[in-house]
Structure 1
Amino acid sequence: MTSLVQKKFGEAAADYAASSVHAKGESLKRLVALVRPARSWRVLDVATGAGHTALAFAPHVAKVTASDITEAMLAEARRLAAERGFGNVKTARAKADDLPFPDMSFDCVTCRLAAHHFGKPQAFASEAFRVLMPGGTLALVDNISPEEPDLARAYNHFEKLRDPSHGRCLSLTEWTKLLGDQGFVLAHSEEMDQDIAFLPWVTRMRCSAPTVARLEALLREEPLRSSLRPRMEDGGLTFTLREAIILARKPA
């Protein structure tokens, strides 16, 4: 049975391949710099989408497995890998909370801008821990919720209105605890702003006109206005999300 995530992202696969947020966002370059991948590494990218994170790591490592549940996304990842001449990238159908790989298969597991779709983030963390080599690294990037519960609920409602397959963005505090509970040792965390152009953001998810109007209204109202800071830039509505970059190690 096709899940809501598969349906929504299957329809939008080509748009995500071309999305500047996913292909060139500052967190992507920063993630590679922080991880400092080794040439001998085997990397697993979970919920790869169009493969942008997998392809960012490919020049620096021996092999990258780009995994996703959506075949249309995997097709885009294969296309981009071929265009860029990366013969060390392969794709695999895989659920984030039930990875079809043996224990201790990878030196690094990455996941960028996807975990807010996971229905079972604890299971994802557990599976990442299982497939990592001792001493391996989980490198996670995702949008994060505000720490205040009421504001976090408003923010996640806003995200789910735009994309019904949205699960929940966790706060940085929640991620830190969740990973620790699964056995990881936190190595690094930081936050950064991610400026979002409103029109491409709603267009990627094929939002209806009434939904677009409601999203814009929510942006301009409290409590989201102060948090997401909507403004006009380059002739278009822009707002700002918060992203976290988290590196966690599996003990050696």
Structure 2
Amino acid sequence: MTKSLAQQRFGRAAADYATSEVHAKGASLQRLVELTQPKPHWRVFDVATGAGHTALAFAPHVAKVTATDMTEEMLGETRKLAKARGLTNVKALTAKAEDLPFPDANFDLVVCRLAAHHFRKIGGFVSEAFRVLMPGGMIGIVDNVAPDAAIVPGGTADELRHCASLFNAFKKLSDPSHVRCLGLIEWQTLLADAGFTVTHAECLDKEIEFGTWVQRMRSSEATTARLTEMLRDEPLRSFLKPRETASGPDFTLTEGIILGRKPR
């Protein structure tokens, strides 16, 4: 079977993501655990786990965590980290986010952190999450979000669409497997349309070190130069707030945290 672009890229970078501070210790990870209030009897499902940081954060609080990803190299990092931490209740399996190989009403909580912008069928993922959750179960999404009226108040609809388009072009230039970051309002609408009751939505800033970021993304010199230009030009300059450093313009991403509950 031919590997997808995402599988190729993240297979090569799996070890980098295992040690990435942004993914392993970002504020949104702790906040997601706090907001969902995991219970000892819960079965948690982490979709597109990457190197497993979200799955491993929940494991000490619950009965079982099932972590899936399309990339076997990422799952290998998940298994190694779980073993190193003595976590025996984490199971790592290969699966696509839009086609989950589990029965209906099987989990208490579905989480997905910093991965959904790679999904080509985002609606399919949300529908599958709804299906595998038990009645009363919860979904917790964390992802980089594009500018919209909830994040950038005062902008016109045309200005926000233009900025969101440039932001996604910026993200795709750094990572060709990127599909699209949604806005916070679009996330809430998507969950509601799938049947969830949206119970919480907030944003957190995430500081990105430019030099480390382009290295992890395997960006060429030409790509790095173009990313630098885009950061310094409006409207991305106002949205991403670049700060000049020796390695390039560090900047700020906005992460959305959205929670929904499946009706009983």
Give matches, 1:152-163, under 5 Å: 152-163=164-175
User: CA deviation digits over 1:138-182, x for unaligned, max 9?
Assistant: 010000000111100000000000000000000011111111110
Structure 2 SS opposite 1:142? strand
The residue type equivalent to 2:207 in the other structure is D
Decide whether the 8 Å contact of 2:210 with 2:248 is kept in 1.
yes
State the shift of 1:232 in Å: 3.0
State the shift of 1:234 in Å: 8.3
User: Is 1:89 aligned to 2:90, yes or no?
Assistant: yes
Single out whichever of 79-88 and 236-245 deviates more from structure 2.
236-245
- Provide the residue aligned with 2:207 in structure 1: 195
Structure 1 SS opposite 2:199? strand
Structure 1 SS opposite 2:99? coil
Decide whether the 8 Å contact of 2:58 with 2:65 is kept in 1.
yes
The residue type equivalent to 1:212 in the other structure is T
Aligned-residue Cα RMSD (Å) equals 1.0
Tell me which of 206, 222, 228 is aligned to 1:210: 222
- Provide the residue aligned with 1:8 in structure 2: 9
Residues 244 and 98 of structure 1, relative CA distance in 2, 3 Å threshold: same
State the shift of 1:218 in Å: 0.7
Alpha-carbon distance in 2 for matches of 1:141, 1:200: 21
State the shift of 1:223 in Å: 1.3
State the shift of 1:205 in Å: 1.6
Alpha-carbon distance in 2 for matches of 1:125, 1:66: 16
Alpha-carbon distance in 2 for matches of 1:86, 1:156: 36
- Provide the residue aligned with 1:167 in structure 2: 179
Alpha-carbon distance in 2 for matches of 1:229, 1:54: 31
Decide whether the 8 Å contact of 2:46 with 2:68 is kept in 1.
yes
- Provide the residue aligned with 2:123 in structure 1: 122
Q: Which runs of 5+ in 2 are unaligned?
A: 149-159
Structure 2 SS opposite 1:99? coil
User: Is 1:241 aligned to 2:242, yes or no?
Assistant: no
- Provide the residue aligned with 1:142 in structure 2: 143
Alpha-carbon distance in 2 for matches of 1:5, 1:105: 28
The share of aligned pairs that are identical, in percent, is 62
User: Is 1:55 aligned to 2:56, yes or no?
Assistant: yes
Decide whether the 8 Å contact of 2:211 with 2:247 is kept in 1.
no
Residues 215 and 234 of structure 1, relative CA distance in 2, 3 Å threshold: closer
Task: Provide the aligned length of Structure 1 versus Structure 2.
Answer: 252
State the shift of 1:215 in Å: 0.4
Alpha-carbon distance in 2 for matches of 1:245, 1:239: 20
The residue type equivalent to 2:138 in the other structure is T
The residue type equivalent to 1:149 in the other structure is R
Residues 234 and 38 of structure 1, relative CA distance in 2, 3 Å threshold: farther
- Give TM-score, length-normalised by structure 2: 0.94
- Give TM-score, length-normalised by structure 1: 0.98
Decide whether the 8 Å contact of 2:243 with 2:250 is kept in 1.
yes
Q: 4+ runs of 1 displaced by more than 4 Å?
A: 233-236
State the shift of 1:235 in Å: 6.8
User: CA deviation digits over 1:27-60, x for unaligned, max 9?
Assistant: 0001100000000000000000000000000000
Alpha-carbon distance in 2 for matches of 1:194, 1:74: 25
Structure 2 SS opposite 1:206? coil
Residues 124 and 226 of structure 1, relative CA distance in 2, 3 Å threshold: same
State the shift of 1:233 in Å: 5.5
Single out whichever of 60-69 and 227-236 deviates more from structure 2.
227-236
The residue type equivalent to 2:200 in the other structure is H
State the shift of 1:238 in Å: 1.1
